Amino acid sequence: MKSARISFSRLVALTMAVAFMVFALGVGCSSTQDATTPNNGENEDTSHAETANSHQHGDPGISDDDILFGQSAAFTGPAKELGEAMRLGIQAAFDEVNRNGGVHGRRLILETLDDAYETEYAVSNTKRLIESNKVFALIGAVGTPTARAASPVAHAAGVPFIAPFTGAEFLRDPELDNVLNLRASYFQETEEMVARLTEDLDVTRVAVLYQDDAFGQTGLEGTRLALERRGLEPAASSHYERNTSAVKSAVAAIVEAEPEAVIMIGAYAPVARTVELVRREADPVFMTVSFVGSNALARELGHDGAGVYVTQVVPLPHDETIPVVARYQAALSAYAPHREPGFVSLEGYLAGRLAIAGLEGCGRDLSRECFIGALHQTATLDIDGIQLRYGPRDNQGSDAVFLTVIGEDGQYHEVEKLGGAY
């Protein structure tokens, strides 16, 4: 009897241990995010995901009352301000239309997952959003390497991939019939940089610092091609690792080349560090692309930011004389009154408005095919003065590039040429 009691007690202990492990795993894994992904980046609307998929009509993500969109972006790590700002702008646009009854009676919901600007998380998040959460479309992905990894998943599933925050050339492939780009490409941004350097300042020695991934390599290639068209080549090119600010060795190579200008293809933290280190040894013209995260860059640089040029793909977010900016500011104030306007959240707002325009074109009889077709078949889409043009083999809406500079006041100012007062 004693041995039987011992066996029974061991069985009870084992059962309790297994139950505790199951409970612990359940607590540790969010119901809306893979256990393998970083901290959850979802917003308060995520809890409505089940509602949006009840009583579905045709394609996933459409119910009687809701349309569910998904976003995988960086909400932790060195690029988190980009993901947070992009999400904020989309939410402001969705909130604006929801307060006015939604789109044809359906409110828009955004569900977000954090990929920390890492490709493997972007893939797992995208699969989860499509396969488990059943989103209607993906919107506002952040970054070239993450988009390169995630977009094939969306394409294979026939899911719209709307307004990714990247100017990568591969997303401009006309065969990607599920992709709708909002912004100008990195090739267009780097062409503007090189044009201004060579035409305004007669610069011939241009060095490139780039992030060692698809984003940085695209920017490097765009710069190289722009220089080649003018019979030039980079004076130096050096790289750093993504999600770090370890730029010292790259900076040493740039300084050694004695460039007149440095074009930087990276995120705000390593770009700011590069400016700081190079200025200890030299005083070239500094230029960087829109993906840098302009507001974050200005904060990182502080008083040292004056004179740093940034190409933008949206207008100045504080210029209320531009109708779409005034509308954006009102939407942002209503949704998040304590948040400051910025270039990235303005782009997110435009991404949200682009999605809304596609939905409006389909009426209540909504499908993914109609959504994409409605935008491609519109000759010109006018979003309060921002002109977007798509076509049968053209999935990029805007070609606009704006040249800005950080002034002595720490604010961004639009300029026509390099070298003027700021």
Contacts of residue 35, defined as CB under 8 A and 6 or more positions apart, other chains included, come to 25, 28, 29
pLDDT of residue 29: 33
Contact of 206 with 259, CB cutoff 8 Å: yes
pLDDT at residue 420, rounded to an integer: 79
> Given this model, what pLDDT does residue 376 score?
87
Give the pLDDT mean for 192-214: 97
- 79-118 pLDDT, tens digit per residue, is 899 999 999 999 999 999 999 999 999 999 999 999 999 9
Domain spans of the chain, in order of start: 44-184+321-391, 186-312+403-414
More confident residue, 281 or 23: 281
Q: Is the pLDDT of residue 2 over 80?
A: no
Region of poorest pLDDT, from 41-45, 224-228, 250-254, 302-306: 41-45
Evaluate whether 123 touches 143 at the Cβ level (below 8 Å): no
Chain centre distance of CA 155? 18
Q: In which residue are the tokens 């976003």 written?
A: 71
Prediction pTM value = 0.86
Q: Tell me the pLDDT band of 18, cut-offs 50, 70 and 90.
A: very low
* Fold that domain 44-184+321-391 belongs to in CATH: Rossmann fold (3.40.50)
pLDDT at residue 355 tops 80:
yes
Q: Which fold has domain 186-312+403-414?
A: Rossmann fold (3.40.50)
* Mean pLDDT computed over 398-421: 94
Indicate the SS3 state at residue 217. Answer: helix
Query: What is the Cα–Cα distance from 164 to 181, expressed in whole angstroms?
Result: 6
Instruction: Please answer whether residues 81 and 293 qualify as being in contact, where contact means their C-beta atoms are separated by less than 8 angstroms.
Output: yes
- Domains 44-184+321-391 and 186-312+403-414 equal at CATH topology level: yes
For residue 22, is it left (φ>0), alpha (ψ between -120 and 50) or beta?
A: alpha
Q: Is the per-residue pLDDT at 7 higher than 50?
A: no
**How far is CA 302 from its chain centroid?**
24
| pLDDT level of residue 338 (50, 70, 90 thresholds) | very high
Torsion of CA 210, 211, 213, 214, to 10 degrees: -60
Residue pair 205/257 in contact by the 8 Å Cβ criterion: yes
Give the model confidence (pLDDT) of 138-166 as tens digits: 999 999 999 999 999 999 999 999 999 99
Lowest mean pLDDT among 35-44, 231-240, 278-287: 35-44
- Residue 86: alpha-carbon gap to chain centroid: 6
